[in-house]
């Protein structure tokens, strides 16, 4: 439980109530990140089905009745089984993944709809059950027969859960999915859909973009895309227009020295699909939340009016991938919608920046931008860990973000290049999600906005907060810190 939660609990007039609310919020975030992680690990399968659909599906570039037959088995069998394995493995290791995989066959066979949501929901508890059963029985297994009995237990548990899924849960889950699908159709056709931007755009900026995209949007969007051939749900979060519009407004109101940095950031956001790079700009001036909300609202409304969508989730949210995953007749409309949302966002953001005297002549923005080699003053890094950390040499560095990909992957690539240029030997650098940081890590690098979500198990690890994982200058300070630390050993 973070210090924020404890502070609320002891400072409020009803501490017990606030403590419970904060605890529930933490648990909900944890559950959401679990489901997001399950989908995130299998994004390539989803995109593979989307590519087949966009190329050889009924509305594809080159419809082919033979090749399009591969699409349905991916949605019906491959994707649910891989999701089940990933979810079971989270809590039960390889054995938990295998048990969840076998158990999922029961749900698949009992339903005439892809059991994608069912796999995401049920596989983590199945993995936990497998691990729990292994712990409870390991003291009673005769020496020498561990492998035989462990495999037998997993097989029997998988069969039992498979039969339970087929006879007890499958038909109920099938009805639930049909109601969900009907609800999605109603939502997509209603006037309420654009109002999702009131929640989604601010949540994205608070670094919940991966949770929204992979934990909520993707499962329901996949279900709808399989039924209708495409889904507007995939465009709700992935639209790069609102963020790009904010960066354009900053570009218009910035000094000459700042423009190259902002242009680089805008290119990464639009073409690289790494939306996290624009979040610090909005957090620096919270009034810009209105700009991204207005842009998101405009984009969703435009997409809804022209009934467009994507055949698969776009991850990362690059404009190139979005256009590639759009049906042929929707490409120009989606491009226009992204452009329109960027224009609206830019207009609102420009008004806000000008009104707040954003056109400055002296205050640098390097700590929030992607420097392209300017010799500006280096921003200082921030040590977030208030606990005493080990002074051992730094050999293992983990760069972390919410999903463990995108911005952290880019940050890891930057740091590897910096470490290589500094000729620092034997430094392992990797990128992970916040919930998957290895215990042997010597140094954790994270955006300081996410410090409240850091895992408390890393109390003895040096944690460094940066304003942006795309900032080259901040990595110079980190390399210097690593060099100084390791020289003393």
- Beta carbons of 303 and 315 less than 8 angstroms apart: no
User: Torsions phi, psi of 432, nearest 5?
Assistant: -145, 165
Q: What is the CA radius of gyration of the chain?
A: 24
Distance CA 73, CA 317 (A): 26
> Considering only CA atoms, which of 305, 354, 313 is closest in space to residue 330?
305
Distance CA 171, CA 168 (A): 7
Distance CA 407, CA 413 (A): 10
**346 is annotated as an active-site residue:** no
CA 122 vs CA 119, 167, 173, 215, 314: distances in Å: 6, 16, 11, 14, 25
Distance CA 478, CA 489 (A): 18
Distance CA 467, CA 451 (A): 12
Cα Dmax for the chain: 77
Q: Catalytic residue, from 5, 22, 346, 401: name it.
A: 401
- Beta carbons of 291 and 194 less than 8 angstroms apart: no
- Beta carbons of 363 and 302 less than 8 angstroms apart: no
- Beta carbons of 359 and 259 less than 8 angstroms apart: no
- Beta carbons of 459 and 387 less than 8 angstroms apart: yes
Q: Which residues are catalytic?
A: 401
């Amino acid at each position: 439980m973070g210090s924020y939660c404890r502070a609320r609990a002891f400072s409020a007039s009803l501490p017990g109530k606030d403590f419970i609310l904060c605890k529930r919020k933490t648990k909900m975030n944890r559950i959401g990140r679990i489901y997001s992680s399950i989908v995130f690990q299998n994004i390539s399968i989803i995109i593979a089905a989307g590519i087949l659909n966009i190329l050889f599906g009924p509305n594809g570039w080159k419809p082919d009745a033979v090749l399009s037959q591969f699409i349905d088995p991916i949605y019906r069998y491959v994707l649910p089984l891989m999701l089940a394995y990933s979810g079971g493995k989270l809590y039960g290791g390889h054995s938990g993944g295998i048990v969840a995989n076998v158990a999922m066959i029961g749900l698949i066979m009992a339903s005439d709809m892809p059991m994608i949501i069912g796999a995401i929901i049920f596989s983590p508890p199945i993995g936990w059950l497998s691990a729990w059963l292994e712990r409870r029985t390991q003291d009673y297994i005769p020496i020498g027969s561990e492998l035989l009995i462990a495999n037998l237990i997993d097989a029997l548990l998988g069969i039992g859960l498979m039969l339970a899924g087929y006879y007890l849960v499958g038909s109920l889950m099938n009805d639930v999915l049909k109601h969900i699908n009907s609800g999605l159709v109603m939502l997509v056709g209603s006037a309420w859909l654009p109002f999702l931007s009131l929640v989604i755009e601010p949540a994205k900026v608070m670094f919940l973009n991966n949770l929204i995209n992979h934990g909520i949007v993707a499962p329901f969007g996949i279900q709808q895309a399989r039924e209708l051939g495409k889904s507007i749900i995939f465009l709700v979060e992935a639209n790069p227009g609102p963020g790009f519009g904010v960066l354009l407004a900053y570009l218009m109101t910035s000094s000459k020295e700042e423009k190259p940095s902002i242009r680089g950031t805008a290119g990464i956001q639009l073409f690289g699909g790494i939306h996290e790079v624009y979040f610090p700009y909005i957090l620096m001036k919270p009034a810009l939340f209105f700009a991204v909300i207005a842009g998101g609202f405009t984009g969703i409304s435009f997409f809804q009016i022209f009934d467009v969508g994507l055949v698969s989730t776009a991850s990362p949210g690059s404009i190139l991938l979005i256009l590639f995953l759009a049906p042929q007749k929707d490409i120009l409309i989606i491009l226009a919608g992204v452009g329109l949302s960027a224009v609206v966002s830019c207009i609102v953001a420009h008004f806000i920046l000008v009104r707040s005297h954003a056109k400055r002549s002296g205050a640098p923005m390097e700590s929030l931008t992607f420097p392209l080699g300017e010799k500006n003053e280096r921003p200082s890094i921030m040590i977030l860990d208030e606990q005493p950390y080990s002074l051992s040499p730094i050999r293992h560095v983990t760069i972390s973000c919410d999903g463990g990909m995108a911005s952290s992957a880019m940050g890891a690539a930057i740091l590897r290049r910096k470490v290589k240029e500094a000729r620092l030997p034997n430094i392992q650098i990797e990128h992970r999600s916040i919930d998957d940081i290895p215990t042997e890590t010597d140094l954790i690098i994270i955006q300081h906005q996410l410090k409240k979500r850091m895992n408390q198990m890393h109390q003895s690890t040096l944690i460094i907060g940066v304003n942006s994982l795309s900032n080259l200058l901040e990595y110079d300070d980190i390399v210097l810190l690593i060099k100084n630390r390791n020289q003393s050993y």
